[in-house]
Amino acid sequence: MLRATIEQAKNWESAAFATLYDATYDRIYRYIFHRVLDTIHTEDIISIVYEKALKYIRKFRWTTENELFSWLYQISYTSIIDFSRESHDVE
């Protein structure tokens, strides 16, 4: 199911991206929160993550559902680093 949804999202179908967001949000939120330990920073960073995911969804190459999460974790990781470099209080 996610494979078809990703292909639809690549064609800028907003409902498809919303489905991906709903399917991945909890895991990505937990991943970020366990690294920054702050709800407000987590919410700021997760918005950046999904903004980047929307921007680069066309470059994503589907193989498995785990690939999707790996891709989002990588975006999350770099977003946490970028956020902390902008002199925010992230430990």
- Averaged over successive runs of 10 residues, the pLDDT of the chain (91 residues) comes to 83 90 97 96 97 93 87 97 76 52
Q: Per-residue b/e over 47-63, b at no fewer than 16 CB within 10 Å?
A: ebbbebbeeebeeeeee
pLDDT at 91: 52
The confidence score (pLDDT) of residue 13 equals 86
